[in-house]
Every structure is written in structure tokens, then in C-alpha cells.
Structure 1
């Protein structure tokens, strides 16, 4: 019997929580402004990526570019795929649900959505626990669940964050107000 959506969400929650706690503990004093779970178009188990103000400045200087060129790019972050040892056990659970491309289109779409909902649920739980801060501190972090080059990323960001956290993201990621 493949794992349920709730079981996937629980596993992602545990893995992401451990990875994020390691990140915050190993980089004390850094101001993290972006934390995301990323998966592929096949909706395999997620990877964690994040940015801090300090890491962004250092990476932009290293690459010789403007910080805005990297600011919302999970792939350019030095913290891309951070805490893999914590998320590695989640991947077989996603695999146990089958390959999306082996399913008819409507079933594949439903399975894709289920996996992303599980990831979003996990991040929402972490937020409810205060992992991304509370009160005004929470307003300085954008939490995301992303699939590169796929629709739906903006909608998940909007659901996962208080509006106060999204001012810069909306402007810099060119997200229209009606999304």
C-alpha cells in the first residue's frame, strides 16, 4: 500500500524540520529571508534551499553580479539541497506512489497535486510551529514550495505566507497583485 498524502506530509515535515534546524544552528546570526522545498516536474521527493541576506551578498560578490539576479533563485543558493541526509528518507515514500509518467494524464495530474499538497502542508506546519519566526520576525521570511518552470508556484507562496512577508517578493519576482 503506497503512503497516503498525510503520511507524505508527516515525512516531509520531519525531514524539512530537521534540515532547517541544522541550517539555522550551523549559520547563527544569518538572516534567512527565503526557505523553499523544491521538486522536479516528476514530483520526486523534495530538496531544501534557502537564502540569507549574508549568503546573498557573498554569492553576488563571488559571481560579480547584482544581488537581485540571485535573490529568489533556489538553484544559485549555496544552501541549495541543504540537509539532504534528513530529506533522503522521504524520497522512497514518494517513489512508492509510482512514476507520474506511467499514469494516464488525469491521474498523473492528481498525483502531482497530491505530492505538492503534502509538501505545502509540511511547510505550513513548520510555519505554525514558529520555525520561520513569529510576529514581525515572520514577515521577513518568504516560505515556498516550488517546481521549476511549472505553474502554481506563486499561488503556493501566497497561501504559505502572510501578506506582509511578500512585499519585496511581489516587486522583485514581478508577481502581479491579482495572483
Structure 2
């Protein structure tokens, strides 16, 4: 049976919750300001990366890497939680095997599932509440950079310093 969009969103919500909870618990004293689910243009099952202020401190390339999922010491974390989700993504038709309209619909479905999962977790308070939440940027990123990353960032994040800083860099 092919997993539905709801199946993907539900599995991602549980997996990302567990991965982020483990990340935060394993790194006491770190103030995380960036949490991202990344996927390439084929919208394969995502990977989770994050940055903390403490990990960035003292880096001579801080301005260049502060939003780079790949350069973070917390790049591709929570694999034990996300690997089963990638199997669900792989059970769906592959974007690059479909005709244009079908490929676009499949791509959009996958990104909506990722965004839904992060929105749920944000609503639960996993990334903080109130002012604390406004200091954490939460993203679904198509990598390398994609024009849809900006509207998604606006949908997932409240107005505030984290979103403003990211938009200043990338918008």
C-alpha cells in the first residue's frame, strides 16, 4: 500500500519530535536557533540538521555557515528516527519517474507533509513558545537553495528575529 500524505506527515511528526527531543537533551547548554528538514529537488525522505549559537561561536566562517545544514556539527541528526520515514517516502512513486504534472503533484505532496509535521511540532511548543519560538528558525529546505524555501519559511515561522535574520541573508 502506498503511504498517503497524512501517513507521511504523521510519521514525520513522530520521528522529528523524537530526534529533536534527543538533540536538545544530548546538548545541554546549547541554544538552538535553526532546525531544518532538508531534501533534494527529487523530494526524497528528509534529513534533519540544526545549529546552535554555541556551535557557531568562535568560527571564522560564522557568517557563511550559520544557516548551512551541511556545515553544522548537528548535520544529519536523528537518523535512527528518520530512516523509517525515508522508507515510507521511497514506497511512493519517485518524482523523477513521473510525467510533469504528476511529478509536480508528488513533489508538492512530499513538501506539504514535511511542512505539516514541523507546523504541528511548532504548535506543540517543541521549538519554544512566544518570544523563545520567535528566536528559532524552523525550515523545510529544498537543497541546494530553492525559491520555495522563502514562502515556506514565512508559513512556518512567526515574525521575529530568527525569521528576519534568515530573510536578510537569503530573500
Counterpart secondary structure, 2:37? strand
Q: Name whichever of 45-54 and 162-171 sits farther off.
A: 162-171
Equivalences, count: 169
Q: CA deviation at 1:2?
A: 0.6
Return the alpha-carbon distance in structure 1 between the equivalents of residues 140 and 36 of structure 2.
5
Q: CA deviation at 1:174?
A: 3.6
Residues 45-69 of structure 1 deviation map (CA, whole Å, 9 limit, x = unaligned): 11000000001125x2xxxx33111
* Structure 1 residues 34-53: aligned runs within 5 Å: 34-53=34-53
Q: Give the TM-score, by structure 1 length.
A: 0.91
Q: Is 1:132 aligned to 2:143, yes or no?
A: no
Return the alpha-carbon distance in structure 1 between the equivalents of residues 77 and 137 of structure 2.
17
Could you tell me which runs of 5 or more consecutive residues in structure 2 were left unpaired when the two chains were aligned: none
Query: Structure 1 runs of 4+ off > 3 angstroms?
Result: none
Residues 109-143 of structure 1 deviation map (CA, whole Å, 9 limit, x = unaligned): 11001000000000000000000001111111000
Return the alpha-carbon distance in structure 2 between the equivalents of residues 113 and 174 of structure 1.
22
Q: Tell me the residue number matched to 1:153.
A: 149
2:116 to 118, 121, 124: 121
Counterpart secondary structure, 1:144? strand
Q: CA deviation at 1:151?
A: 2.5
Q: Tell me the residue number matched to 1:168.
A: 165
Return the alpha-carbon distance in structure 2 between the equivalents of residues 36 and 116 of structure 1.
13
C-alpha RMSD over aligned residues: 1.0
